Chain A
Amino acid sequence: MNQLTESPDHVRHTGHPRKGFFTDTSICIGCKACEVACKEWNRNPHDSTDSGYELLGSSYDNTGSLGADTWRHVAFIEQDKEQIGRARESGRALVSLGMPGLGPPGQDRAGSLAGADTTPPDTPDFRWLMSSDVCKHCTNAGCLDVCPTGALFRTEHGTVVVQDDVCNGCGTCVAGCPFGVIERRSDGTAGPKTARDFTPGEQAPTRNAGVAQKCTLCYDRIVDNQTPACAQACPTTSIKYGEREDMVATAKERVAELHARGLTEARLYGANDSDGVGGTGSVFLLLDEPEVYGLPPDPRVPTADLPRMFKRAGIAAAGMLAAATAAFLAGGRA
């Protein structure tokens, strides 16, 4: 869709299918193994560098959000009966609008509820949502579009990765991400003090301080046919990893299955290729509106507006020029 930045076919790479995650939050048990496995593998600093070790005041979540050091983040949301009812209603509305979030019109509607008994089970009094968030590896990646140094690049697996040694820490990408994922790393403490490549008992140095950091979809693992650390550690297969096409298909099946049980609150996030970022490499099954999980409801890559902006700027410039010329001509006459 955005021809100014990446070509529409950029994600397709000859010989390599696009890789991605499917995070099924309906079977997440909130164990945070993904957060820890990610930090262990990527040697990310712990998050309490600045804040100290204190309760965040957000149910069982004490890392807060995705950022330079936390590349997988598990959100915990406690909801009462009324909120559950609303989620069910809003999901039902999506379904009856023919928009179960299952892809663009014309594609087969795995989520069609015709004929299925969708009498919802009794609404429970209470629920506790858990969801592991991660970089979306967008089809049209804002961070990559705006990066002036080329430090961010599209890999052969269709993922978006920062080259630590190229990034100059300008921070443009931070504003370019519609999800608030990418962030510059500040100085701090890193890793457990007993880590073997550091001197035991001494604080390990922070790597990559000052440069932009985010999930690499474990680029260094997938090039060796290894599963990304978070998906490998997930005990309930809530985090699945594979070819993006398969992930989206699995996600659609799962949503259809939940809908068939009357759980209309289930919906997909990121699977729609005509959304503001052209769909995401990481797709999610959510049980409520995206905002509830801290996700933007309608993410839009900022560079998507560039053509229109350039056009308008061009018109404005032409107008200015015309006005100036007119003024000059008029002035000349006077």
Chain B
Amino acid sequence: MANADCIVIQGSNMAECHPVGYQWVTEAKARGAKVIHVDPRFTRTSAVADKHVPIRAGSDVVLLGALINYVLSNELWFKEYVLSYTNAATLVGEDFLDTEDLDGLFSGFDPETGQYDLSSWAYERKHGAEGQGGHEHGADTAARAAGHQYGSGGPPLANPQFERDMTLEHPRTVFQILKRHYARYTPEMVREACGISLEDFDYLARAVTENSGRDRTTCFAYAVGWTQHTLGAQFIRTAAILQLLLGNVGRPGGGIMALRGHASIQGSTDIPTLFNLLPGYLPMPKAEMETLQQYLDGIASPTQKGYWAAADTYTISLLKAWWGDAANEDSEWGYQYLPRINGPHGTYETVMKMLDDDVEGYFIFGQNPAVGSAHGRLQRLGMSHLKWLVVRDLSLIESATWWKDGPEIASGELKTEDIATEVFFMPAATHVEKAGSFTQTQRMLQWRHQAVRPPGDSQSELDFFYELGKRIRAKLAGSTDERDRPLLDLTWDYPLNEHGEPDPEAVLAEINGRHLTGPQAGKPLSSYTEMRADGSTAGGCWIYTGVYADGINHAADRKPQQEQGPVASEWGWVWPANRRILYNRASADPDGKPWSERKKYVWWDPEQNRWTGQDVPDFPVDRAPGASPDPDAGGAAALAGDDPFIMQSDGKGWLFAPKGMVDGPLPTHYEPQESPIANPLYRQQQNPARLTYPRPDNLSAPSAGERGSEVYPFVFTTYRLTEHHTAGGMSRWLPYLSELQPEMFCEVSPELAAERGLEPYGWATIISPRSAIEARVLVTERVKPLVVGGRTFHQIGLPYHWGVGQDAVVSGDAANDLLGVTLDPNVQIQESKAGSCDIVPGRRPRGAALLALVADYQTRAGVTPETGNQKPTSPGRASGRGTKEEN
């Protein structure tokens, strides 16, 4: 980011939530970069940015789509880059119909299931190239359309022989489709939908385009302000399209920075805690994949381009790392030991299952769902249905004490003596009390050394799981039951230190992988390209291979910045292959020369016949720029010299996503699940493919144009403060942090305060269809009313750090109790950045009266489980096209 000439921070409050990473924005600014913050509120990030652009929460696709339109209609796109490195010239099949044709739906939507059949979004194949492994049809897409089925490589695309039109004039080229799709995303539409003035839009559009091209680069930074929406993944896709058009991907100072929320959240997706992934973004097998071969066929076709074609080597090395000798050719390398999934099993589905008494036990590690997850009441009630619950944390967080002092005890919904859940609390070691690696936002692994021993019974995660595994295996020892084999055959043999705890470096070495046979047997692997599918290598996470090359813990590399080049490749280790910028082949032109001296990064050295530069080239190192190998070769061998996107099955950056996104090949603006504004672009109000959970305990507010929408007239958005850590487990127990932000508050504009009679620093009650909470009132000009669709529109800001309990130094009502559960269909994230509410002065009622207040609002608004949950918006509602807001 320090190399950027313009930084747009949108969907993130970077200075507040990532203050340490913000040093690079400060650095870029000191070097002359322009910093623009697009956010509903004026935050500490806005305070140090060159400009703050207030936006209506949830309308980001309109703004980004308008920037795309601006770039296309003013001929500002980076022609050479777009033609060579993206799929702009590729033709899409004749069956494809856009949202412009169907008033907000793409072709292939099934109103019965609420899901898309993706087949009409496919590229047009060259005649005679109809290979195997093409698009699936019909029912099987519906069965898995919830986005739980792919690893990061997306779906296989078989042989990439597609029709292209390099003049970009064919109406079915991606380029022309893009142009038509965003034609109505104009500055005027931005003013209507986002509440952003024409001047502010012009400032932003100029800043971004004037700072892009051969000589300059713009980068975007986002966090959960983009992801936590019912079309969150599409927000990011929109930015990706814009950055590809401007040539800002794979280059220094470019890119789209995903800012991760905690120290190793990146690590927890690389080696995942997610139900649908195995390490290194390999997908979790589905129930119907009965053989290893079927599973591998589902990841990648061996004839497709790029490094996913070698997924068999990654998978078999992983299985060897887990099951050692028991993973052999006869046992399909232990494939049958892997659990299978038969649908989405995310955290919210699990909670619903708890309520249905389908879940017996629950482990909570480093998480405080009673406070930090959407719809806190549902979370706590779900836990009250469990037989047992294990909470591992630093303190007695609310998720461990809801049964005696939670909000439902106060309201009388739960009685402690009636709760049958047995709750175990296991004290956890803090980050200074254990050694290990953190993988941060830049994919960098950094080693932590243990500073002090954990006190009392506190344990590291590693020690806890090692011990748990040991005890379970001891209990199962001698079992002849087939289902116990996976546990008994696990390689569970870590060297122990003098305290009897496993050595974390040994785990890192296992993750890195090693040669098992041959002359190098026992030696650590130095690159994932050394992995083999014949059982001669083992490795726990292919993308991490190299971190322990030559037996050295490179995560602990700490050469000071002053002693090395600007890329600082000897500080920590970045996956994959210690590569700091992904797809960096794109930092050179198609001939392999840097786009400019100023933005020089990786280039082709014709004398040595190889790629070289400041970073590790993200390309086959000897593939010449002009090379055009036989596309039938498959894998990395099939990559042409101008295919920088080496993980994509056609080697190109995808402006149009023919597969992989379950809710549309192009991002389209839909309103949040709850919105007092009618979609100004289409008849379709919400994302038609969103995941809804229509239940009496998960009600949604009516949206604009529906009866009762005026009962919840305001929009609230939730966020974090620098002073606290997420649900407070690491901050509300500490006096030094608690005193800095002692009380739950809401941020409102002076106008809204006047309208509702809210006293500065007095109390207010905020009511949603799920719950009501109280908060102190911060009246501030940092929150501005926006004029949207011709009327004044108020937003309320709610930090979500506080929870109801008695153990913390500070407590308060939890903002997440207001949220409902409606999810993005691609990644199943909840919509926590926009919801409908009302606000009134004074504290909330206590006891049963609180439930009565919430029920009274529900009755007045006439909400039922069906409210807001129609997938395609009913035809009765007028199209947003050309019409004004109805109320």
Contact = CB atoms under 8 A, between A and B. Distances in A.
Contact of A126 (B23, B722, B740, B782): B782
A192 B743 contact: no
Contacts of B276: none
A326 interface: no
Interface in B753-782: 760-761, 776, 778, 780-782
Contacts of B776: 55
Interface in A32-91: 32-33, 35-36, 39-40, 46-48, 53-55, 57, 59-60, 62-63, 78, 80
A29 B21 CA distance: 12
Given A30-B722, A80-B781, A39 B736 contact: yes
A59 B780 contact: yes
B40 to A, nearest CB: 14
B736 A53 contact: no
A128 interface: yes
B815 to A, nearest CB: 16
Interface stretch (B41-49, B522-530, B790-798): B41-49
Contacts of B421: none
B26 interface: yes
A221 to B, nearest CB: 18
A115 to B, nearest CB: 20
A36 B740 contact: yes
Given A31-B15, A126-B782, A53 B809 contact: yes
A31 B724 CA distance: 10
A126 B783 CA distance: 11
B328 interface: no
A148 to B, nearest CB: 33
Contact of A31 (B16, B738, B739, B781): B16
A193 B394 CA distance: 13
A112 interface: no
B785 to A, nearest CB: 13
A130 interface: yes
Nearest to A58: B761
Given A48-B735, A80-B781, A126-B782, A63 B740 contact: yes
Contacts of A192: 734-736
Contacts of A54: 742-743
Given A27-B26, A192-B734, A62 B741 contact: yes
A78 B740 CA distance: 18
A86 to B, nearest CB: 16
A236 interface: yes
Residue of B48, B52, B456 with most partner-chain A CB within 10 A: B48
Nearest to A191: B735
Q: How large is the interface on A (under 10, 10 to 19, 20 to 34, 35 or more residues)?
A: 35 or more
A48 B455 contact: no
Contact of A130 (B42, B44, B735, B736): B44
Contacts of A200: 455-456
Given A31-B15, A32-B722, A35-B740, A128 B735 contact: no
A186 interface: no
Contacts of B45: 29
Contacts of B455: 194, 196, 200
Contacts of A128: 42, 44, 46-47, 782
A127 interface: yes
Contacts of A27: 26, 29-30, 48
Contact of B26 (A40, A63, A237): A237
B138 interface: no
Contacts of B782: 78, 126, 128
Given A32-B723, A237-B26, A62 B740 contact: yes
Contact of B739 (A30, A46, A126): A46
B613 interface: no
A236 B44 contact: no
Contact of A235 (B20, B736, B741, B781): B20
A275 B94 CA distance: 79
A189 interface: yes
B581 interface: no
Contact of A237 (B23, B722, B723): B23
Residue of A57, A60, A196 with most partner-chain B CB within 10 A: A60
Interface string A91-128: 00000000000000000000000000000000010111
A31 B19 contact: yes
Nearest to B741: A62
B106 interface: no
B736 A196 contact: no
B809 A29 contact: no
Task: State the majority secondary structure of interface residues on B.
Answer: loop
B22 interface: yes
A38 B403 CA distance: 38
Contact of A40 (B15, B736, B780): B736
Contacts of A33: 19
Contacts of B736: 35-36, 39-40, 46, 192
Given A57-B761, A235-B19, A46 B735 contact: yes
A126 B739 CA distance: 27
B129 interface: no
Interface string A164-197: 0000000000000000000000000101111010
A236 B26 contact: yes
A196 B451 CA distance: 13
B44 A29 contact: yes
B810 interface: yes
Contact of A78 (B737, B742, B780): B780
Nearest to A192: B734
A240 to B, nearest CB: 13
Contacts of A196: 452, 455
B415 to A, nearest CB: 29
Interface in B307-356: none
Contacts of B780: 59, 78
A80 to B, nearest CB: 6
Contacts of A48: 735, 738-739, 742
Contacts of B742: 48, 53-55, 62
B81 interface: no
Contacts of B47: 29-30, 127-130
Nearest to A35: B740
Contacts of B737: 36
Contacts of A57: 760-761
A197 to B, nearest CB: 12
Contacts of A194: 455
B177 to A, nearest CB: 39
B425 to A, nearest CB: 15
Contacts of B810: 53
A13 B67 CA distance: 60
A191 B734 CA distance: 9
A33 B780 CA distance: 24
Interface string A193-210: 110100010000000000
B857 interface: no
Interface in A111-155: 124, 126-130
Nearest to A37: B736
A208 B217 CA distance: 55
Nearest to B455: A200
B682 interface: no
B745 interface: yes
Given A48-B739, A236-B26, A31 B452 contact: no
Contacts of A31: 15-16, 19, 44, 722
Given A35-B740, A46-B739, A126 B734 contact: no
Interface of B: 15-16, 19-20, 22-23, 26, 29-30, 42, 44-48, 51-52, 452, 455-456, 721-723, 734-743, 745, 760-761, 776, 778, 780-782, 809-810
5 contacts: A29-B45, A30-B47, A53-B743, A55-B745, A130-B47
- Please give me the 5 A-B residue pairs with the lowest Cβ-Cβ distance, nearest first: A53-B742, A128-B47, A46-B735, A29-B15, A31-B19
Given A29-B48, A53-B743, A78-B782, 8 more contacts: A29-B44, A30-B16, A31-B16, A53-B742, A54-B742, A129-B47, A130-B47, A235-B19
